[in-house]
């Protein structure tokens, strides 16, 4: 007999165990952290067993939880493989599936996709957001847009664009933000999902590269996605370290401004990654041509706020 299983709760629990925490599991599943927590609690009550040892920063499975998580991983992995095969068989040749980082999708790709739709009415774009923590497989997508140093063994890789780093803020903050030392009076917005070690484009990296010293006492607010960092800056909740492609549109329309002239090149870039067999795909070729053109025609940085007055 097959039990009437709580599949949503099982999936949420497996994600928590795999990520060792509720926040990254919620990000992957596209739901709130409280929703994931409720799913896990419901599962524990349904089974009558504690499945997790909860900690402030990490959660780990109990012995029962570890056994269950392994079974879920194996079962869902097999189901995923079969579903991917079925989708490949039924997917129309006129649909292009793009695996993309959420922040890049929201801030750069989505506003430009209308241009592609107008130029290619016979093609359809489907976006699958992916945090990029795990290696690109190409199983569920035609093209992956990845953020890193470009090492993707076994795949066809093209540079899409690099990026520059510089502080950005809402125009309303400018009167009290005239020099680096003034950052001590503001909140620094931090993307906590940068997982590139010393190559991560952090505030500390920017300060080292520009030979500046951040104030010794400064408030920070950590946010779970790069698009949330950008939106928080637009709302005037603090000062963000702008990554050029993610903030260029907001700079051009005045929602954000650059308070300082100091900028540096990021050690990371955006890359187009795909399976070698897509080399001769006309639809993939059309998308690559279009997105490279969009990247090449991206506007330059507007003048500093002090220069535009």
Where along the chain do its domains lie? 7-88, 93-160+269-296, 164-267
Domain 164-267 has CATH 3.30.70.1380: no
CATH domain 93-160+269-296 topology: D-Maltodextrin-Binding Protein; domain 2 (3.40.190)
Q: Where residue 134 falls among pLDDT bands split at 50, 70, 90?
A: low
pLDDT of residue 132: 65
Q: How far apart are CA 91 and CA 96, in angstroms?
A: 9
Note the pLDDT of residue 91: 53
Identify the helix (H) or strand (E) that includes residue 166.
strand 164-168
- The helix/strand/coil state of 223 is strand
pLDDT at 309 exceeding the cut of 60: no
Residues contacting residue 197 through CB under 8 Å, at least 6 positions apart: none
pLDDT digits (tens, 9 = 90+) for 282-306: 999 999 999 999 999 999 999 886 6
Three-state SS annotation for 141-159: CCEEEEEECCCCCCCEEEE
Give the number of other Cβ atoms within 10 Å of residue 3's Cβ.
Answer: 6
Surface-to-core class of residue 226, CB atoms within 10 Å of its CB (0-12 exposed, 13-18 middle, 19+ buried): buried
* Residue 180: both structure tokens together: 């680096």
pLDDT of residue 101: 86
Average pLDDT over residues 209-213: 93
Sequence-distant (≥ 6) Cβ neighbours of residue 46 within 8 angstroms: 6, 9
Express each pLDDT in 88-123 by its tens digit.
654 557 889 998 888 899 999 999 998 899 988 888
Q: Is the pTM of this model over 0.75?
A: no
pLDDT single digits (tens) 137-179: 777 789 999 988 888 888 999 999 999 999 999 999 998 898 9
Domain 7-88 adopts which CATH fold? Arc Repressor Mutant, subunit A (1.10.10)
Q: Which long-range contacts (CB under 8 A, 24 or more apart) does 139-142 make?
A: 139/84, 140/84, 140/87, 140/97, 140/99, 141/97, 141/98, 141/99, 142/96, 142/97, 142/98, 142/274, 142/278, 142/281, 142/283, 142/284, 142/287
Comparing 7-88 with 164-267, is the CATH topology the same? no
Q: Which of 137, 154, 145, 66 is nearest to 110 (CA)?
A: 145
């Amino acid at each position: 007999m097959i039990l009437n299983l709580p599949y949503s709760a099982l999936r949420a629990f497996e994600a928590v165990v795999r990520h060792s925490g509720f926040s990254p599991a919620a990000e992957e599943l596209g739901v709130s952290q409280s929703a994931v927590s409720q799913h896990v609690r419901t599962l524990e009550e349904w089974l009558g067993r504690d499945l997790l040892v909860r900690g402030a920063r990490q959660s780990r499975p109990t012995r029962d939880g570890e056994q269950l998580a392994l079974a879920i991983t194996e079962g869902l992995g097999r189901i995923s493989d079969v579903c991917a095969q079925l989708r490949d068989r039924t997917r129309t040749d006129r649909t292009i599936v793009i695996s993309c980082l959420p922040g890049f999708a929201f801030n750069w790709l989505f506003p430009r996709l209308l241009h592609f739709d107008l130029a290619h009415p016979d093609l359809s774009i489907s976006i699958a957001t992916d945090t990029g923590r795990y290696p690109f497989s190409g199983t569920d997508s035609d093209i992956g847009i990845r953020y890193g140093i470009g090492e993707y063994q076994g795949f066809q890789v093209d540079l899409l664009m690099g990026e520059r780093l510089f502080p950005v803020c809402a125009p309303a903050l400018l009167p009290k933000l005239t020099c680096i030392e003034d950052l001590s009076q503001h909140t620094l917005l931090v993307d906590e999902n940068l997982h590139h070690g010393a190559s991560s484009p952090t505030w500390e990296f920017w300060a080292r590269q520009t030979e500046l010293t951040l104030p010794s006492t400064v408030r920070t607010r950590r946010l779970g996605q790069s698009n949330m960092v950008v939106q928080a800056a637009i709302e005037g909740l603090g000062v963000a370290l702008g990554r050029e492609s993610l903030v260029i549109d907001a700079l051009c329309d005045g929602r954000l401004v650059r308070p300082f002239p100091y900028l540096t090149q990021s050690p990371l870039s955006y890359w187009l990654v795909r399976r070698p067999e897509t080399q001769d795909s006309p639809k993939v070729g059309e998308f690559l041509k279009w997105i490279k053109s969009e990247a090449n025609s991206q506007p330059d940085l507007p003048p500093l706020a002090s220069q535009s007055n």
